[in-house]
Chains A and B, each alone.
Chain A
Amino acid sequence: MRFNRNNEMPEAGFDITSMIDVVLLLTIFFMMSSQFSRTAQRELDLPRQSGDAHPRPDGSADAAVVIDLEQDGRLSVAGRNYPLERLATMVAIDLQRAERTGSFLDVIVRADRSTPAAHLQRLAGALSAQGIASWRLATSGESHRSHSGASGQNGGEGS
């Protein structure tokens, strides 16, 4: 009896085609669903409101300037701190530049919900003085209705 016909043993292996298919599908899914622009933003406890029922009714913005406002009133864009007047001027210049090129720039303010409104008033005043007429306040997207009742405790949701 001769079991060993030829001396060349076939190399053991498995088919990785289906694994590559699945991995590529997952990669494409995460690439589409992730938002990379937020990686440079500060971690803030945003107001717990659901936001606009119909997001962006006035057409889609081509880009956005995201201003982070912390509890102590510090302002930052893309992780860099700026004084109020300089920030307002920068945003105004960006808006004018976008207007010249025919694109629309969104101004988004991300403020911690425990921040005194006086800081928000100062920021809004500086932006308004630069001729900026509209902005958007970032919220967490979750509604606070479930714990409404007591008036405005837990750092200000005004419930």
Chain B
Amino acid sequence: MNFRRSTERGIRSIPRLSLVAFIDIVLFLLLYLMLAGTLTPPESRISAGLERPAAASAKAPDLPPVFLSVVRSGSSVVFRIGQREVPNFDSVVLALSQSPKQGGVIVRSDPNALVGDVAAAMQAAKDAGFDRVSYAPTP
């Protein structure tokens, strides 16, 4: 068997790979990734717990949690920390930052409130320095 193909003047010919198909695939991948990548907006997350009424009453925490309620009437939204009404996001952050952090925050929402309001309440708690933020499914 003769594996050595044609040799001219004693120099071995180097096998060459056709790059045409390779370049086609790479350019197609590049185009796809550029389109798919730029059309996807970046997202963030707010980590939260899910409050269970039965479990919450079963174990007594050292410090009671701070209850943050979101109530919406029409186009205006009001936050309540306990029974105290707080007018806007920055005031909520300020008020929560002065509260003890060990008990965490439980966010409750009025059924008329929007998801954006709930997210704002969770964000306010996070911005105030609370690690434990929970959402209560039922008011």
Which residues of chain A have a CB within 8 Å of any CB of chain B?
16, 20, 23-24, 26-27, 30-31, 33-36, 38-39, 46-53, 55-58, 69, 108, 110-122, 124-125, 127-128, 132-141, 144-145, 148-149, 151-153, 155-159
Task: Tell me the bound Cα distance from A33 to B33 in angstroms.
Answer: 9
Give the CA-CA distance A24 to B22 in the complex, in Å. Answer: 11
B43 and A137 contacting across the interface, CB-CB below 8 Å: no
Whether B43 lies near A57 (C-beta < 8 A) is no
Determine if A128 and B50 form an interchain contact, defined as CB atoms under 8 angstroms apart: yes
Q: Which of A23, A118, A128, A157 contacts B117 (CB 8 A)?
A: A157
Distance between B112 CB and nearest chain A CB, rounded to angstroms: 7
Which residues of the partner chain B approach A27 to less than 8 Å between Cβ atoms?
26, 29-30, 33
Interface string of B21-61 (1 = CB under 8 A from A): 00100110110011011001111111111111000000000
B33 touches A121 (CB 8 A): no
Please state if B77 and A158 are interface contacts (CB–CB under 8 Å): yes
Most buried by B among A55, A120, A125, A141: A120
Alpha-carbon distance A144/B127, docked complex (angstroms): 13
A115 CA / B113 CA spacing, docked (Å): 9
Q: Is B101 positioned at the interface, with any CB of A under 8 Å from its CB?
A: no
Question: What is B's interface to A at a CB cutoff of 8 Å?
Answer: 19, 23, 26-27, 29-30, 33-34, 36-37, 40-52, 70, 72, 75-79, 87-90, 109-123, 126-127, 131, 135-139
Q: Do residues B138 and A20 form an inter-chain contact, with CB atoms below 8 A?
A: no
Q: Which of A31, A52, A118, A132 is B44 in contact with, Cβ under 8 Å?
A: A52
Q: CA separation between A67 and B44, bound complex, in Å?
A: 15
Residues B135 and A124 in contact, CB atoms below 8 Å apart:
yes
Which residue on B lies nearest to A35, using beta carbons? Answer: B40
Contact status B119-A151, CB under 8 Å: no
Collect the chain A residues with CB atoms within 8 Å of residue B126's CB: 52-53
Q: A26-B30, A158-B77, A158-B117 are in contact. Are A51 and B111 (CB under 8 A)?
A: no
Query: Which of A24, A26, A46, A57 is B131 in contact with, Cβ under 8 Å?
Result: A57
Q: Given the complex of chains A and B, what is the CA–CA distance between A55 and B126 in angstroms?
A: 11
Q: A158 contacts B26, CB within 8 Å?
A: no
Residue of A nearest to B55 (CB): A133
If A46-B43, A117-B117, A158-B77 touch, whether A148 touches B90 (CB-CB below 8 Å) is yes
